[in-house]
Structure 1
Amino acid sequence: MTKLILVRHGQSQWNLENRFTGWVDVDLTEEGIAEANKAGELILKEGIQFDAAFTSYQKRAIKTLWLALEGIDQMYIPVTKDWHLNERHYGGLTSLNKQETRDKHGDEQVHIWRRSFDVPPPQIDKNHEYHPSKEVKYSHIAPSELPTGESLKITTERVLPYYKSQIVPHLKAGSNLIISAHGNSLRALMKEIFGVPDDDIPGFEFPTGNPLLLDMDEKTLKPKAARYLDESRAKELPAV
């Protein structure tokens, strides 16, 4: 049976500071590094031999993957990095403290921006220091494709075509895969894999650095079983 592990990056500096991060390339904290190392220890106990790995262009996810692969002595496997697996772009909310944003705009409005499926945040200004066009890593992407403020729906529309075209063929071939990504790009994958309705998917949380192991049916691409490897930090999962 094909094994697929989804893991959200370990705690980042802006997770710690309670700021909207999105596409800003912040690093892991010491706790985040420890979570990534723990992810490797947990995966090692499962005895999985991976055929390939996928991650985003953001170093918090890349480092988490590196540390996990180091922990299982599989750093040699092919790793594909792609911006389509990046976190949701938080637009004009980027870098703002979440509590200060609630104080300014009200709890209800911030809740809509964060937890609705199809309401995007305000767009980021092109002159903003964190506009994605200012990063060389995205210079090959057409300006019209660069996100400047995404809802979960828009994020899903970015992630799923990549998943179906680049990752699904590996799963159908029976390859064991690990994907290190972000809370919202992983929600997009969860929505597809588990068939979660639009209104329900924003409510599912991915704990940082806790691998989600899926036993995948190669024909249906649906999980026959699913569990977080660290049960003490597990979150609710959709029904299998």
Structure 2
Amino acid sequence: MAATAFNGCISTIKSHGHKSNFALDQECRNSSLRLTSKGFKINLEVSGKERYCFRKRGFSVIQASSSSQTTVLDQVSTPLNNKVDTPKKSSEAALILIRHGESLWNEKNLFTGCVDVPLTKKGVEEAVEAGKRISNIPVDMIYTSALIRAQMTAMLAMTQHRRKKVPIVLHNESEQAKSWSQIFSEETKKQCIPVVTAWQLNERMYGELQGLNKQETADKYGKEQVHEWRRSFDIPPPNGESLEMCAERAVAYFKEHIEPQLQAGKNVMIAAHGNSLRSIIMYLDKLTSQEVISLELSTGIPMLYIVKEEKYIRRGSPAAPSEASVYAYTKNLARYRQKLDEMVH
């Protein structure tokens, strides 16, 4: 019976033109036959290097180790229709958006734009409070603008995270920068969170308004004109960017660099600015140009989105780390918090 089954199997392969692929002209050292309720299965080892499994009504191919000792195949997982069951990637991720804390020019009521101004004491406190609100939400990657107020906010926020991973700014501006900032401990790498800085996430450039007092500018040009410069979608201030122009660069960067990370199951935090985040939210929530100009973002208040099946579901701002229900928006977040609790206890 074994010989008959074997010869029939060889004939089937030849009829499909697989003789050269399987090198069946070589001597077959060992074979075994196993009868099953669905037909027969032959295990064949060719020259001690490659092993094949043939079944009635179909066949599967398995690449084996170089050992010539083994003559019986392990269990075959490949189905007869040649479709392979692969584990699915994570279908859910968290996206956290944080506008930086109060800056020194926010405090002075000055147009800041792309001028690189640090946080005030209040801004530092806002960043720390933001960190407490997201302390139970997983963070795998951080993106910030190239401006110090956004970077300070991200770093201060992560000091409050219960996972205690260290945010590390990546320096890819040159080969030397990459080389000099390398980490040589794999264990240390596991305890770090990469931080990517990008000018595309900067605040919108306010042109000739930068450094001017907002109230004095309104007195000089009129409230309506300044409001148009600040809140219209497609009208830029003198030699500056409109919200539409800011959105073009911010959303393009989000789609190209951040969205693939989210779709791969990475949990991402973005620390940026009122207008760059407003632009991204316009994309996430599918807002119109009229809806986005009325969107207000407070300094230091995180906003949570759940990314699931390529959809963005806004969950608002986590209220406080002590409220477990905040992190039970999804089973994944609930499990993550439970793991954090177990680590503490």
TM-score range, shorter chain: 0.7 to 0.9
Matched, 1:32 2:148: no
1:196 to 287, 290, 294: 287
2:225 to 86, 92, 109: 109
1:229 to 297, 318, 326: 318
TM-score (norm 1): 0.82
Aligned residues: 202
Gaps of 5+ in 2: 1-91, 167-191, 321-345
CA deviation profile, 1:129-176 (whole Å, cap 9, x unmatched): xxxxxxxxxxxxxxxxxxxx1000000011111100000100111111
Shift of 1:190: 0.3
CA deviation profile, 1:178-233 (whole Å, cap 9, x unmatched): 0000000000100000000011101111110111011122x33321x4211248xx
Matched, 1:95 2:199: no
In structure 2, distance between residues paired with 1:74 and 1:122? 43
Q: Radius of gyration: which is bigger?
A: 2
Shift of 1:74: 2.6
| Structure 2 partner of 1:15 | 106
2:245 to 132, 146, 154: 154
Partners of 1:172 and 1:221 within 8 A in 2: no
- The percentage of counterpart residues that share the same residue type is 46
AA of the residue aligned to 1:20: F
2:137 to 41, 48, 53: 48
1:58 to 147, 156, 171: 147
In structure 2, distance between residues paired with 1:182 and 1:230? 21
Partners of 1:85 and 1:185 within 8 A in 2: yes
In structure 1, distance between residues paired with 2:109 and 2:318? 26
| Structure 2 partner of 1:179 | 270
Which SS does the other structure have where 1:95 is aligned? coil
CA deviation profile, 1:12-57 (whole Å, cap 9, x unmatched): 011111110000001100000000011111111xx22211010011
Decide which structure has greater strand share: 2
AA of the residue aligned to 1:51: D
4+ residue stretches of structure 1 with deviation over 6 A? none
In structure 2, distance between residues paired with 1:194 and 1:74? 30
TM-score (norm 2): 0.57
| Structure 2 partner of 1:141 | none
CA deviation profile, 1:97-142 (whole Å, cap 9, x unmatched): 000000000000001000000000001xxxxxxxxxxxxxxxxxxx
Which SS does the other structure have where 1:171 is aligned? helix
The higher-RCO structure (CA 8 Å, 6+ apart) is 1
CA deviation profile, 1:48-80 (whole Å, cap 9, x unmatched): 221101001100000000001111123220110
Which SS does the other structure have where 1:119 is aligned? coil
In structure 2, distance between residues paired with 1:151 and 1:229? 31
Partners of 2:94 and 2:138 within 8 A in 1: no
Matched, 1:205 2:296: yes
Gaps of 5+ in 1: 124-148, 232-240
In structure 2, distance between residues paired with 1:230 and 1:27? 26
Matched, 1:81 2:197: yes
Instruction: Calculate the aligned-residue CA RMSD, in Å.
Output: 1.1
Between 68-77 and 200-209, the greater mean CA deviation after superposition: 68-77
AA of the residue aligned to 2:100: H
Which SS does the other structure have where 2:146 is aligned? coil
